[in-house]
Structure 1
Amino acid sequence: MTASTDARTVVLDATTWQARRAAHERRADAWLAPHLRRRRDGVRHPVEDFLFTYYSHRPAQLRRWHPGAGVVLADADPEEFGRDYLATSAGVTLDTEAVRARRGDSIDWIRTLLRRTAGRPAQFGCFGMHEWAMVYRQTQQEVRHNAWPLRLSPEQTAQTVERNGVRCSHFDAYRFFTAPARPLNLLQPTRESQHDLEQPGCLHGNMDLYKWSYKLSPLVPSELVADAFALAREIRTLDMRASPYDLADLGYPPVAVETPAGRAEYAAAQRGFAEQAAPLRDRLLASIERALGGPDT
């Protein structure tokens, strides 16, 4: 049961918010248990572990529930939720002013990135060559996931990159390109140009909605962070199926982007992920506006 106190605040009774917290923890546990078991056993998984190793959000942080800005939790203890929460006459709520004072520049940077990305047309012509550029002109021993074989020989892999070209707009993918691959890219992304280059068809840009959601936490509800994690997990699967690695033994049949049929399959999946990412991006922006009191000017 909920009751609004004004246009920007919602009060959740104890039964409601505790049920939401428990549901979030169960959802997170389903993702975390296999990862923690592999970590304990010293087993690496090139697909499933990526979101825990590349991104900085720790498993315990993903599991922890926050209601987001503009929510009051009745019959709650602020010490349960952390330093950014205040006790009020109606219950516990997030101190958005404290969060903004400490992290305002970062929040504004993320908001600008999300708004500019949402305002651009999506591009679907990269065909996943960013992963191939990360192993371009390397031997099997040199590649990042060298416990897993490449589907093609190093020379055939290089020829695929050269034949298809590289059109990567995402800096955090581009920075992992091998040195000889970087000049082949149509763009030369930098951190400074990220606001100008990020586009909503990019797999890594859409995967990064998870990063922006947890960096905005606790301003955004943890359910939104979990939704972004779930999408990023699906995107990572396509990313690695379309990569030059042979992961069939792990249950990931390849999307053979070195062929016309594979490129068509990749672009169709990429469009689907862009459609799923758009409302998540909108929800993140709405959470920022709700917390900070108005649209970016």
Structure 2
Amino acid sequence: MVLSPGVYGEIDDDRALTALRSALDEGATLIDTSDGYGEDGHNERLIGEAVRGRRDEVVIATKFGFRLPEGVEGHSFPVKYSFEELAVNAEPQHIRGYAQTSLRTLGTDYIDLYYPHFPDPKVPIEETVGAVAELITEGLVRHLGLSNVTADELRRAHAVHPVAAVQAQWSMWAPIDPELHAAARELGVGIVAWSPLGSGFLTGTVRNVGEDDFRRFIPGFQAGNLQANHDRFAPLREIAAEQGVTPGGLALAWLLHQDEHVVPIPGSRTPAHIAENLAAARTELSAETLDRIGRVLAEVAPQGGTRLLG
């Protein structure tokens, strides 16, 4: 998402492609995108260009039903960010069209992992899943994912077709819903953690956000909240320094220690940050360190709120 304009400020395609190709060169094997990232499929087109000639090296996950084509009615989905709602549509009759557009934009014959970006309040999750299952039968999609769902929605969907992965917001400052986590473990569903660095906050480097930065909509980044949160989470930066890792590296390593089936998807725009993020997969944290982090997290909560849902 961060490689398309209008997210974290200015970015151009050359810089974005350099970042993507660097990730592949460093051994990254999962790229997560959406037809709703950037205008007119920008993010998917970018990824298609980056993986040309290297398609078999990477799992491509994309999502649908958030940025709607002309003529598709939007259904209101409430969120906690300051814009308060999103327009989504996961009606079965549109899903084949979404997928065909993504396939063309990505320049590929199949999508490895396909998610409805959000559950549609006006459509039973079973109907949405049924439409994706048809695409799986035809070979256009390989695996079903869900994103931003409840534990109940995961269970209902899984009863229609096996769910390979559920995408959920999860980081040191936005814990995963425990019921969703328990349901995923019970059903054998992997967890893809979005915003694992707290939209960059947990790197310790974000001191302000501009008008062209989507984080201005997140209460935890607004007004005095950002400074207050910087101070509240200072003990984590101290632990990172003691461990000889960056604050962002600590945040990712901590998340990887929470569940052997979790895959974080940090957004990065530079080869240096990509290498730093990938190094977190090789960082071992002792039980004592994890306990210290747990005590800190039990005592602090972000001021202003950071969760998109719930």
- Per the TM superposition, whether the score is higher than 0.5 is no
When normalised by structure 2's length, the TM-score is: 0.26
Structure with the higher strand share, 1 or 2: 2
When normalised by structure 1's length, the TM-score is: 0.27
Larger radius of gyration: 1
